[in-house]
Structure 1
Amino acid sequence: MADAELASEGVAPDAGRNSPFLPLRQPIFRAVWFASLASNFGGLVQMVGASWMMTSIADSPDMVALVQASTTLPVMLFSLAAGAISDNYDRRRIMLTAQGFMLAVSILLALSAWLDVMTPWLLLGFTFLIGCGTALNNPAWQSSVGDMVPRRDVPAAVTLNSVAFNIARSVGPAIGGAIVAAAGAVAAFVINAFSYIALITVLARWQPPRVERVLPRETLLIAMGAGVRYIAMSPNIRSVILRSFAFGFGGIVALALLPLIARDLVKGGPLVFGVMLGAFGAGAVVGAFMSARLRRMLTTESLVRATFAAYATAAAIIGVSTTMWLTMPALAVAGACWVLTLSTFNATVQLSAPRWVVGRALAIYQMAAFGGMAAGSWAWGYATLHLGAEQALLLSAFALLMGAAIGLRYQLPPLEALNLDPLSRWREPKVAVDIEPRSGPVIVTIEWLIREEDVVEFLKAMAERRRIRRRDGARHWTLLRDLTDAELWVERYDSPTWVEYVRQAQRVTQADADIGDRVRALHKGPNPPVVHRMIERETATLPRGLPMQHQHPPEPTGHNG
Structure 2
Amino acid sequence: MWAPLRHRLFRALWIAQLVSNTGTWMQTVGAQWLMGDLGGDALDIALVQTAATLPIFLLVVPAGALGDILDRRRLLLTSQVITFTGAAALAALTAAEATTPALLLVLTGAMAVGQAFAVPTFQAIQPELVRLDEIPQAALLNGANGNVARAVGPALGGVLITLAGPEATFALNALSLFGVTLVLYVWKRPPDHRPLGAEHIRDAIRAGARYVRSAPEFASVLWCSVVFTLCASGMWALLPALARGPLGLGAGGYGLLLAGVGSGAVIGAFALPVVRGRAGPNTLVAGSTTCYALAMTVIGTVESMPIVLAALVVAGLAWITVLSTLSASAQLLLPEWARARSLAYYQLVFMGGQAVGSLVWGVVADALTLQAAFLLPAALLILSTPIGVSRVPLPTEHFDMSQVSHYPEPPDDLQHGRGPLLVVVEWRVSPENAEAFLEVMRQIGRARRRTGATMWSIFQDMEEPTLYLETFTAETAHEHLRQHVERGTAMDQELDLRALSLVMDGQFPEVRHLIWAYAPMPGAETREPEFRSIVSMLRPR
CA distance in 2, matches of 1:386, 1:256: 16
**Alignment of 1:412 onto 2:394:** yes
Match of 1:400 among 336, 359, 381: 381
CA distance in 1, matches of 2:267, 2:173: 25
Match of 1:95 among 59, 76, 100: 76
1:498 to 1:271, Cα distance in 2 relative to 1, 3 A: same
Q: How does 1:167-316 map to 2 (within 5 A)?
A: 167-316=148-297
Q: How does 1:109-188 map to 2 (within 5 A)?
A: 109-188=90-169
Residue matched to 1:524: 504
Residue matched to 1:447: 426
CA distance in 2, matches of 1:84, 1:258: 35
Q: How does 1:311-350 map to 2 (within 5 A)?
A: 311-350=292-331
Residue matched to 1:57: 38
CA distance in 2, matches of 1:435, 1:378: 50
Match of 1:390 among 367, 371, 375: 371
Letter aligned with residue 352 of structure 2:
G
Match of 1:534 among 495, 500, 514: 514
The answer as to whether partners of 2:221 and 2:330 remain within 8 angstroms in 1 is yes
1:58 is displaced (CA, Å) by 2.5
1:129-186 Cα shifts (integer Å, max 9, x gaps): 1111111111111111111111111111111111111111111111110110121101
CA distance in 2, matches of 1:473, 1:364: 17
1:210 is displaced (CA, Å) by 1.6
1:538 is displaced (CA, Å) by 2.9
1:29-54 Cα shifts (integer Å, max 9, x gaps): 00000000110111111111111011
**Alignment of 1:512 onto 2:508:** no
The answer as to whether partners of 1:152 and 1:417 remain within 8 angstroms in 2 is no
CA distance in 2, matches of 1:274, 1:58: 20
CA distance in 2, matches of 1:59, 1:211: 48
Larger mean Cα displacement after TM superposition, 182-191 or 473-482:
473-482
* Structure 1 consecutive aligned stretches of length 4 or more whose deviation exceeds 3 Å: 425-431, 525-528
The answer as to whether partners of 2:263 and 2:313 remain within 8 angstroms in 1 is yes
1:424 is displaced (CA, Å) by 2.6
- Secondary structure (helix, strand or coil) at the match of 1:421 reads coil
The answer as to whether partners of 1:428 and 1:502 remain within 8 angstroms in 2 is no
Residue matched to 1:367: 348
Structure 1 gap ranges (5+): 1-19, 541-561
CA distance in 1, matches of 2:411, 2:129: 38
Larger mean Cα displacement after TM superposition, 517-526 or 66-75:
517-526
- Secondary structure (helix, strand or coil) at the match of 2:125 reads helix
Letter aligned with residue 180 of structure 1:
I
CA distance in 2, matches of 1:325, 1:339: 22
Residue matched to 2:416: 437
Q: Which has the higher Rg, Structure 1 or Structure 2?
A: 1
**Alignment of 1:503 onto 2:485:** no
1:448-477 Cα shifts (integer Å, max 9, x gaps): 111111111111111111111112111322
Structure 2 gap ranges (5+): 521-541
The answer as to whether partners of 1:151 and 1:417 remain within 8 angstroms in 2 is no
1:478 to 1:427, Cα distance in 2 relative to 1, 3 A: farther
Residue matched to 2:63: 82
The answer as to whether partners of 2:425 and 2:470 remain within 8 angstroms in 1 is yes
- Secondary structure (helix, strand or coil) at the match of 1:357 reads helix
Match of 1:473 among 449, 452, 475: 452
CA distance in 1, matches of 2:355, 2:153: 23
CA distance in 2, matches of 1:258, 1:234: 37
1:287-339 Cα shifts (integer Å, max 9, x gaps): 12222122111111111011111000000000111121000010111111111
1:371 is displaced (CA, Å) by 0.7
- Secondary structure (helix, strand or coil) at the match of 1:345 reads helix
TM-score, scaled relative to structure 1: 0.90
1:340 is displaced (CA, Å) by 0.9
CA distance in 2, matches of 1:174, 1:145: 29
1:232 is displaced (CA, Å) by 0.9
Residue matched to 1:543: none
1:250 to 1:184, Cα distance in 2 relative to 1, 3 A: same
CA RMSD between the two structures: 1.6
CA distance in 2, matches of 1:362, 1:330: 31
The answer as to whether partners of 1:438 and 1:499 remain within 8 angstroms in 2 is yes
1:442 is displaced (CA, Å) by 2.2
The answer as to whether partners of 2:420 and 2:519 remain within 8 angstroms in 1 is no
CA distance in 2, matches of 1:404, 1:539: 51
TM-score, scaled relative to structure 2: 0.93
1:225 is displaced (CA, Å) by 1.1
CA distance in 1, matches of 2:275, 2:479: 43
